[in-house]
Amino acid sequence: MTALSRLRWYVRQLTGEAKWDEYVAQCGRADVVPVSRREFERARDHEREHNQGARCC
């Protein structure tokens, strides 16, 4: 694994891009139509705002 590919992996993890890819792959395995990217991000934001247990502070 090159330094550039490691950096790309890190940035994708940091920005949440990998979560979207995991969600789409999971929907494909379950033969379910995924929601739009916008709806996916909106649901993630809602969960972060209303689930205070996920935070350290």
Asked if residue 46 belongs to a domain, the reply is: yes
pLDDT at residue 1, rounded to an integer: 75
Residue whose C-alpha is closest to residue 19's, from 50, 53, 48:
48
Asked whether residue 25 is assigned to any structural domain, the reply reads yes
When divided into structural domains, the chain yields a total of 1
Rounded Cα distance, 21 and 27, in Å: 10
Alpha-carbon gap, residue 44 to 35, rounded angstroms: 12
* Two structure tokens written together for 48: 């972060």
Q: Are 29 and 23 in contact, with CB atoms under 8 Å apart?
A: no
52 against 16, higher pLDDT: 16
pLDDT: which is higher, 20 or 54: 20
Give the confidence band of 47 by pLDDT, cuts at 50, 70, 90. confident
Structural domain for 26, as ranges = 3-51
Distance in angstroms between the alpha carbons of the first and the last residue of the chain: 35
Residue 57 in this model has a pLDDT that exceeds 90 = no
